[in-house]
Chain A
Amino acid sequence: DEGSYEHGGKGDFIEHACRYCGVANPACVVRCNMPSCRKWFCNSRGNTSGSHIVNHLVRAKHKEVCLHKDSPLGETILECYNCGCRNVFLLGFISAKTESVVVLLCREPCLSNNALKDMNWDLSQWCPLIDDRCFLQWLVKIPSEQEQLRARQISAQQINRVEELWKMNPDATLEDLEKPGVDDEPQPVVLKYEDAYQYQNVFAPLVKLEADYDKMMKESQSKDNLTIRWDIGLNKKRIAYFVFPKEDNELRLVPGDELRLRYSGDAAHPAWQSVGHVIKLTAQEEVALELRANQGVPVDLNHGFSVDFVWKSTSFDRMQGAMKTFAVDETSVSGYIYHHLLGHEVESQIVRNALPRRFGAPGLPELNASQVFAVKSVLQKPISLIQGPPGTGKTVTSAAIVYHMAKQGQGQVLVCAPSNVAVDQLSEKISSTGLKVVRLCAKSREAVSSPVEHLTLHYQVRHLDTSEKSELHKLQLLKDEQGELSSSDEKKYKSLKRATEREILQSADVICCTCVGAGDPRLSNFRFRQVLIDESTQSTEPECLIPLVLGVKQVVLVGDHCQLGPVIMCKKAARAGLAQSLFERLVLLGLKPIRLQVQYRMHPSLSEFPSNSFYEGTLQNGVTINERQSTGIDFPWPVPNRPMFFYVQMGQEEISASGTSYLNRTEAANVEKIVTTFLRSGVVPSQIGVITPYEGQRAYIVNYMSRNGALRQQLYKEIEVASVDSFQGREKDYIILSCVRSNEHQGIGFLNDPRRLNVALTRARYGIVILGNPKVLSKQPLWNSLLTHYKEHECLVEGPLNNLKQSMVQFQKPKKIYS
């Protein structure tokens, strides 16, 4: 037995050696059972407060383990004897009442099953598998003092660093920590660049970092033991429905994502796998996956399937490609735009185009003064920025600009936005001016339903009604019926389809797609002199570049840098500046955005604070108090003409999902009460939005309302509860904001970002209720002024909802701002 750990501290040659310290005694080690991990760790604490295996499981958020084959229990995956649950944080031993027999049982739901008592099991002495941050010592032994002294002395800090490293490279070793470069920060973005090569040198590594992180995150999301429900779509393709449990990951599936479904095979079925696209996500978090191939699908089976994420580099490749084109192709953008984007001093230019007599467009509402001004100035400049604060009609303004550009006869106009939702909205508006619009969707999203289906290229290809297309239609029908074509027919089908796509695209006045979609090969031979990018403050610079390098001479960036920016998952890339949009950099370079100034969304009482705090008081109200009066709605607003209040909460925050999220039970309970009061007074669920910055609280509120709601469960299920970020760009009649954080000694996290607060405060049309702890929030200057604003208007209240009283809670002095 000695030999098994004779190699001493390093353990380089023994597979089952603890990856932290090298101890390799089979009785002392367990293997992490996460498929992407499978590393061994020992049960000694070394220099840390938890044992090595517990340290690993906690840091990596892995939850399953397997014992060594030479350990007393032999090679065993630890799981609940009753239900098979393998989460070691839920497992513990129970013993039989009369026998010396023990089994592992999960705490939830099995341990709470009282029927077990009648079955001779003693539930009173459940003994957790992990106790005092260590596995039960009689199950996984602690290495002897001797063994521990000969092992590598790893510190908690080294553990954290190597765990970070493993997220990117699962095979990394502790020695890699010492290698130069691993912890190096990438070169940060700057304001001005010498040339497009320097630009590429700075951004390419950041895009690579983000791509690597994205890949790692997505590929670590394999799930086993899924139960499948089979269906057939209208296009005769197989659809697999299943619940994709999301635990502590930050990623959520979106339509268009590619997944691989697998079955490992059994006596009656060969192993099988197929790739498919997510076409729908139901409210019950059920995923609909449309499979690519219909052959051999084991539709007689429902259990034991696995699913993996298929990561695609497409979007990152297109960003890298755009930067390269920007550098090497002189015709990619006009000289003026080239220098301006790089921050060089350039003489200002005027675009000499005849201006239209009126700036509105058919099919659109009349433009207000600031919108007319925006359209007029944009049409005369090669580069312009339009800032559209919440509810100021930036989609209408954008559509009017595109209309006039298209009428100038400069060729087709390209219209982009980072998100599909925004592209759809804009396509619809532009189409209503009478222009011929084609909405180009990614191939993977063709099966995803869209509100502008009739504008999409794939729809138009299928429904183009001319005689010469009948051949294509025949082949299409055949393909739909049989699932596939003979190779010669397939060839014919593809070339006919390509020709038809090209024809439709060429006859369009305007082509709309996402920024990444502008890199679609189907557009590679197209040139666009005029490009408009909506929501440009939500895309990264390299993403924004994709639509620009197709020959742009006139560009309009629409957005609002006072609302949320692009989401960057990799912290290192974000720190280096990838999260700064091109719009923002151009503002910093001195390009003044044209601001739309009249808001048509919020009750004037609701727009007052955001206007003063984020837009220098320039936001005017295009709606009156009367237009935003909720008649017939009996809700206890403390001040009748001010549909807003800050509801003082003193409940404790708790740490929730994965240690990075929080929840607050008191606030959740009060959210339910407020929602119920709204519903009772006649508000319908679709009018209400609950916003909370934390996923932990989001999940808790959804669950709490559906279990404890005073009214029908279904009503609560229809209410949208989401993060601030996912409400950006949208509105609800009533917004309830649950702030969650309530710890005096810690920061307020997410809520510290003024842009997030701006978005949260500007979603409501008729009324807003904010739940939070003023004592904690008032430390932050912006929140302090928000609280003061509510207090001055007698809208800071406490007590039961049916008897709200002015709150006398004392605010704290705000910390100084440094910015």
Chain B
Amino acid sequence: DDDVQIRQKAAEIDPREAAEFDRELRALMQESLESRKSDLRARPTLNMMIPMNVFDGSRDPRAADGESGEETVDEDGGNLGGNKVRVKVLVKRGNKQQTRQMFIPGDCSLVQSTRQKEAEELEE
């Protein structure tokens, strides 16, 4: 009797509830934005250099894993479909920069310019 049939419940979303949630979410976004815009204190200086080691041999997005100084997690157990693009996510830990690899769907606008570049480079 462990064999339970679960009927897929159609998610019932109360439209009023959803509208109210949407309103609160938008308010939070807008308020966050306003609070930053109205912040007349000093604007942060740019601190966005890409560390040199990221460039090392990474032109080819299919470059081998395990470069020095990087931690990689191969998510999806190597089940890397053609529709995913590998990117390096740059984060700061204190003042140290670190990169981690991630896979982003190929149709994500974020990687489109990179894809274009690759295509151009391949053609060359």
Contact = CB atoms under 8 A, between A and B. Distances in A.
Our verdict on whether A and B bind, yes or no, reads yes
Interface of A: 27, 45-50, 54-55, 57-59, 61, 63, 72-74, 76, 79, 81-85, 87, 89-90, 93-104, 106-110, 113, 115-116, 119-122, 124-125, 127, 133, 138-139, 149, 153, 156-157, 243, 245, 247-248, 654-659, 696, 699-700, 703
B91 A656 contact: no
Interface string B50-86: 1000110011010000000001010100000000011
Given A99-B54, A99-B55, A109-B43, A658 B28 contact: yes
B3 interface: no
B17 A102 contact: no
Nearest to A700: B34
A58 B21 contact: yes
Sorted nearest first, the 8 A-B pairs with minimum C-beta distance are A659-B27, A83-B44, A659-B24, A108-B36, A49-B18, A655-B27, A127-B110, A89-B32
A68 to B, nearest CB: 12
Interface of B: 6, 9, 11-14, 17-18, 21-39, 41, 43-44, 46-50, 54-55, 58-59, 61, 71, 73, 75, 85-92, 99-105, 108-114, 117
B48 A103 contact: yes
Contacts of B49: 119
B109 A63 contact: no
B91 A73 contact: yes
A115 B38 CA distance: 21
Given A55-B21, A100-B111, 12 more contacts: A48-B13, A61-B28, A72-B75, A90-B29, A98-B117, A99-B59, A107-B33, A109-B44, A119-B49, A125-B113, A139-B102, A658-B27
Nearest to B92: A81
A264 B124 CA distance: 55
Q: Taking chain B's interface residues, is the majority helix, strand, or loop, or is none over half, making it mixed?
A: mixed
Contacts of B12: 47
A89 B100 CA distance: 23
B18 A657 contact: no
B60 to A, nearest CB: 10
Which of B26, B44, B61 has most A Cβ within 10 Å? Answer: B44
A100 B86 contact: yes
A156 B36 contact: no
A198 B111 CA distance: 70
A73 B100 contact: yes
B102 A72 contact: yes
A42 to B, nearest CB: 15
Contacts, number: 188
Contact of B33 (A63, A90, A655): A90
A49 B17 contact: yes
Contacts of B17: 48-49, 156-157
Which of B35, B73, B86 has most A Cβ within 10 Å? Answer: B35
Given A74-B100, A97-B113, A109-B44, A85 B30 contact: no
Contacts of B55: 99
Contacts of B11: 45-47
Contact of B25 (A58, A81, A95, A139): A58
A49 B13 contact: yes
A558 B13 CA distance: 52
A156 B114 contact: no
A89 B87 contact: no
Nearest to B89: A102
B46 A113 contact: yes
A48 B15 CA distance: 10
A96 B99 CA distance: 13
B95 to A, nearest CB: 11
Nearest to A63: B32
Nearest to B114: A100
Given A58-B24, A82-B48, A95-B110, A100 B88 contact: yes
Given A94-B110, A99-B50, A99-B55, A657 B88 contact: no
Contact of A116 (B6, B48, B75, B86): B48
Contacts of B59: 99
Contacts of B108: 127, 138
Contact of B46 (A79, A116, A133, A138): A116
A108 B13 contact: no
B63 to A, nearest CB: 10
Contacts of A93: 110
Contacts of B73: 72, 74
Given A58-B24, A72-B102, A103 B34 contact: no
Nearest to B13: A49
Given A49-B17, A49-B18, A119-B48, A100 B6 contact: no
6 contacts: A48-B17, A50-B25, A63-B32, A83-B44, A90-B32, A102-B88
Given A73-B91, A113-B46, A138-B104, A48 B21 contact: yes
B90 A101 contact: yes
Contacts of B50: 96, 99, 101, 120
B25 A133 contact: yes
A81 B96 CA distance: 11
B44 A125 contact: no
A657 B92 CA distance: 30
Given A99-B55, A116-B48, A125-B113, A81 B91 contact: yes
Contacts of B29: 89-90
A102 B114 CA distance: 11
Contact of A100 (B34, B46, B61, B109): B61
A669 to B, nearest CB: 16
A703 B41 CA distance: 13
Given A108-B36, A157-B17, A100 B31 contact: no
Contact of B75 (A27, A107, A133): A27
Nearest to B12: A47
B99 to A, nearest CB: 7
A46 to B, nearest CB: 7
A89 B108 CA distance: 19
Given A125-B109, A156-B14, A101 B21 contact: no
